[in-house]
Amino acid sequence: MGEIHIDLDGLLDTFFEEAEEHLNTFETGLLELEATPEDHEVIGRIFRAAHSIKGASGTFGLGDITSFTHALETVLDRLRAREIAYSADVARALLASVDVLRGLVRAAREGATAPPEAVPVRALLEQFYRTAAAPKGETVAQPAISLQVGRKVRVRFAPKPDFMCRGMDPLAILRDVADCGEVESRTVDASAVPSLDDLDPESFYLSFVLVMRTERTDAEIAEAFAFVDDLCTFAIEAENDEAPQELIEPDAPVVGAAAGDARSAPTTFPKDGASPPKDAKTPAAASTIRVATEKVDKLLDLVSEIVIAQAMIVDATRAPGPDAETRLNDALQALDRHTRELQERVMSIRMVPLASVFGRLPRMVRDLAGTIGKKVQLVVEGEGTEIDKSMVEQLADPLTHLVRNAIDHGLEFPEQRAEQGKPAEGTVRIRAFHQGGNVVIEVGDDGKGLDSKQIRAKAERLGLVSPDEVLTDEQIHEFIFHAGFSTAAKVSDVSGRGVGMDVVKRNVEALKGSLSLSTEMGHGTQVRLRLPLTLAIVDGLAVRVGAQTFVVPLLSVLESFRPTPSQVRAVLGASEVIDIRGTSVPVIRLHELLDEPNAERDPSRALLCIVEANGTSLALLVDDVIGQAQFVVKSLEVNYRKVPSLMGATILGDGRVAMIIDVQSLARTDHRSRALATDSEVLIPVSEVA
Residue 1 has a pLDDT of 44
Residue 298 has a pLDDT of 87
Please say whether the structural domain 537-688 has been given the CATH code 3.30.2130.10: no
pLDDT classification of 614: cutoffs 50, 70, 90 = low
Q: What is the pLDDT of residues 632-656, one digit of tens each?
A: 888 777 777 778 788 888 988 888 8
Q: How far from the centroid of its chain's Cα atoms is residue 258's Cα?
A: 44
Q: How many CB atoms lie within 10 A of CB 162?
A: 14
- Residue pair 186/59 in contact by the 8 Å Cβ criterion: yes
Q: What is the pLDDT of residues 416-449, one digit of tens each?
A: 999 999 999 999 999 999 887 789 999 999 999 9
Of 673, 669, 628, 665, the C-alpha closest to 646 is: 665
Whole-number Å distance between alpha carbons of 284 and 287: 5
Question: Which CA distances in Å does 469 have to 82, 220, 651?
Answer: 68, 87, 46
Q: Which fold has domain 353-532?
A: Heat Shock Protein 90 (3.30.565)
Residue 556 has a pLDDT of 83
Whole-number Å distance between alpha carbons of 405 and 56: 38
Of 352, 362, 366, the C-alpha closest to 399 is: 362
- The secondary structure of residue 286, as a DSSP letter, is T
Give the H/E segment covering residue 335.
helix 324-349
- Residue pair 475/469 in contact by the 8 Å Cβ criterion: no
Residue 489 has a pLDDT of 55
Q: What is the pLDDT of residues 273-318, one digit of tens each?
A: 333 333 333 334 445 677 778 888 888 998 999 999 888 888 888 8
pLDDT classification of 130: cutoffs 50, 70, 90 = confident
Whole-number Å distance between alpha carbons of 386 and 429: 18
Domain 151-273 classification at class level: alpha beta
Q: What is the pLDDT of residues 159-187, one digit of tens each?
A: 999 888 777 888 888 988 988 888 888 88
DSSP tally for the chain: helices H, then strands E: 20, 24
| N-term to C-term CA, the chain | 85
Whole-number Å distance between alpha carbons of 155 and 232: 13
Residue 142 has a pLDDT of 41
Question: Which CA distances in Å does 292 have to 295, 341, 344, 671?
Answer: 5, 17, 16, 48
Please say whether the structural domain 8-133 has been given the CATH code 1.20.120.160: yes
Of 23, 100, 14, the C-alpha closest to 60 is: 14
Mean pLDDT over residues 57-72, rounded?
86
- Residue pair 374/405 in contact by the 8 Å Cβ criterion: no
- Residue pair 45/25 in contact by the 8 Å Cβ criterion: yes
Region for 510 from its dihedrals, namely left if φ exceeds 0, alpha if ψ lies in -120 to 50, beta otherwise? alpha
Of 537, 519, 517, 536, the C-alpha closest to 527 is: 517
**3-class DSSP assignment, residue 549:** strand
Whole-number Å distance between alpha carbons of 273 and 161: 30
Whole-number Å distance between alpha carbons of 253 and 644: 68
Mean pLDDT over residues 154-160, rounded?
92
Whole-number Å distance between alpha carbons of 127 and 530: 49
Residue 647 has a pLDDT of 83
Q: What is the pLDDT of residues 538-564, one digit of tens each?
A: 888 999 999 899 999 887 899 999 998
- The secondary structure of residue 320, as a DSSP letter, is -
Q: What is the pLDDT of residues 522-532, one digit of tens each?
A: 899 999 998 88
Residue 273 has a pLDDT of 37
Rg of the chain (C-alpha set): 33
Angle at 520 between CA 518 and CA 525, to 5 degrees: 50
Of 344, 240, 353, the C-alpha closest to 302 is: 344
Whole-number Å distance between alpha carbons of 456 and 467: 9
* Spatial strand order in the sheet of 583-589: 557-561, 607-613, 616-622, 583-589, 576-580, 568-571, 683-685
Residue 149 has pLDDT above 50, yes or no: no
Helices (H), 485-622: 501-510, 590-593
Whole-number Å distance between alpha carbons of 464 and 502: 15
- Residue pair 303/342 in contact by the 8 Å Cβ criterion: yes
Of 113, 109, 111, the C-alpha closest to 17 is: 109
Residue 146 has a pLDDT of 37
- Residue pair 376/414 in contact by the 8 Å Cβ criterion: no
**Percentage of the chain with pLDDT > 90?**
15
Backbone angles phi, psi at 683, to 5 degrees: -110, 135
Residue 367 has a pLDDT of 86
Give the H/E segment covering residue 26.
helix 8-35
